[in-house]
Amino acid sequence: MSRKSYPGEQVTVSFDGDLCRHAGRCVAGLPEVFDTGRRPWILPDAAEAGAVIAQVGRCPSGALRIEPRS
């Protein structure tokens, strides 16, 4: 398992690179949050939480996930 968490103030996004299909949908859809040229490449607070949740929901592979608040 290589799932990694990217905590934000409102939502925490996690990513599993083994599942990613590299379609780039997340980068194209919400580039302020998902930018593979940057580290960390996911900044969950860079857009409104609803937009982040919606974009994660469009990931075709299940690589991106919204993590429940602990």
Q: What angle do CA 56, 53, 65 make, to 5 degrees?
A: 45
- Binding string to ligand SF4 for residues 2 to 41, with x set by CB under 6 A, is what? ------------------xxxxxxx---------------
Which H or E element spans position 52?
helix 49-57
Instruction: Indicate whether 53 belongs to the interface with ligand SF4 (CB under 6 A).
Output: no
Instruction: Indicate whether 59 belongs to the interface with ligand SF4 (CB under 6 A).
Output: yes
How far is 46 from 23, CA to CA, in rounded Å? 21
Q: Which residues bind ligand SF4 (CB under 6 A)?
A: 20-26, 59-61, 63-64
